[in-house]
Amino acid sequence: MHFLAPGDACRNAIIQYIDSAITQLQICVFTISDDRITKSLLAAHRRKIHIKIITDNDKSLDLGSDIHQLANAGIAVKMDITSNHMHHKFMIADSDTLITGSYNWTLSAANYNYENILVTREATAIKAFANQFEKLWKEMQER
């Protein structure tokens, strides 16, 4: 499946997969500043979904960034503290669904930007992204 922005399609798909998660979410995104996505992540955390987020340290300081709110709620967050950017945008839900694409998890992405996400259950792709997530998780700093 694929979804395009501007519009609500990408955001709604991301929220749908967060809301339907049963055990875990591995999220690797440049930033999160869309309050609707944040609300969904906080609800998943309250449902005891195991959530790990990797993000960019510079973007976490932007006005409107929800990264510190998520970390303060008890969600595991690690950040890239290098001079480069952690610019990935993907989520693995329950080890069997990959959501990836250009879509930044921001309000402006939904309202203004030409963006996309692709949802797949193709095992080879999921494994490659899961390996990348684990590699980055070991390298990044805890918030």
Determine which one of 45, 52, 58, 94 is catalytic.
Answer: 94
Domain count, the chain: 1
d(CA 118, CA 21): 17
Residue among 2, 50, 87, 127 flagged as catalytic? 87
Q: How far apart are CA 129 and CA 136, in angstroms?
A: 11
CA pair distance 30, 41, nearest whole angstrom? 16
Catalytic, 59? Answer no
Q: What are the pLDDT digits (tens) for 45-63?
A: 999 999 999 998 665 656 6
Domain assignment of residue 103, given as a range:
2-142
CA dihedral for 92, 134, 24, 11, sign (positive or negative)? negative
Tell me the CATH number at 68.
3.30.870.10
pLDDT at 108 over 80: yes
Let me know if 87 is a catalytic residue. Answer: yes
* pLDDT at residue 85 in the model: 84
pLDDT band at 117 (very low <50, low <70, confident <90, very high): very high
Looking at 59, 78, 88, 89, which residue is catalytic? 89
Question: What are the CA-CA distances from residue 95 to residues 50, 80, 87, 113, 115 (Å)?
Answer: 12, 23, 21, 29, 24
Q: Distance between CA 71 and CA 79 in Å, rounded? A: 11
Say yes or no to pLDDT of 23 above 80. yes
Lowest mean pLDDT among 3-12, 20-29, 77-86, 130-139: 77-86
pLDDT at 143: 62
